[in-house]
Amino acid sequence: MIIVSLWTILPEGNNPLLQRMNDYYSDAVFASTDRNGLIGEAVRIRDRLCGDTRIRAFLDSLIQLAQIARSEQKSLIVIAD
């Protein structure tokens, strides 16, 4: 599972927005004020730590979604399921 792999490479405490997705049973809500920070965290992790192409693809998709949400001035919700 990609998300589980992502948590194994995230430095603790340095990515509070990405960490919101760590709880398998809870949705993660990113308000309009969180979008730039979320993009920044995802880009930083992708560029520094990612050797796994699945994690890189996930982070690229997350960055794109957050950029779309930013351009449309919308929140982003990651639904746990």
pLDDT at residue 14 tops 60: yes
Whether 38 is covered by a domain: the verdict is yes
Instruction: Find the mean pLDDT for residues 32-41.
Output: 94
pTM of the model: 0.81
Note whether residue 12 is domain-resident.
no
First-to-final CA distance of the chain: 13
Q: Which domain holds residue 40?
A: 2-6+20-78
Specify the 3-state DSSP secondary structure of 50. Answer: coil
pLDDT at 22: 80
Going from the C-alpha of 21 to that of each of 15, 31, 45, 71, 72, the distances in angstroms are: 11, 14, 15, 22, 22
**Residue 11 covered by a domain:** no
pLDDT exceeds 70 at position 11: no
Task: Report if residue 45 sits inside a domain.
Answer: yes
The one-letter amino acid code at 79 reads I
Count up the domains in the chain and report the number.
1
Residue 14 lies in a domain: no
**Residue burial 40-69, b: 16+ Cβ < 10 Å; e: rest:** ebbeebbeeebeeeebbebbeebbebbeeb
Say whether pLDDT at 1 is over 60: no
In this structure, is residue 31 part of a structural domain? Answer: yes
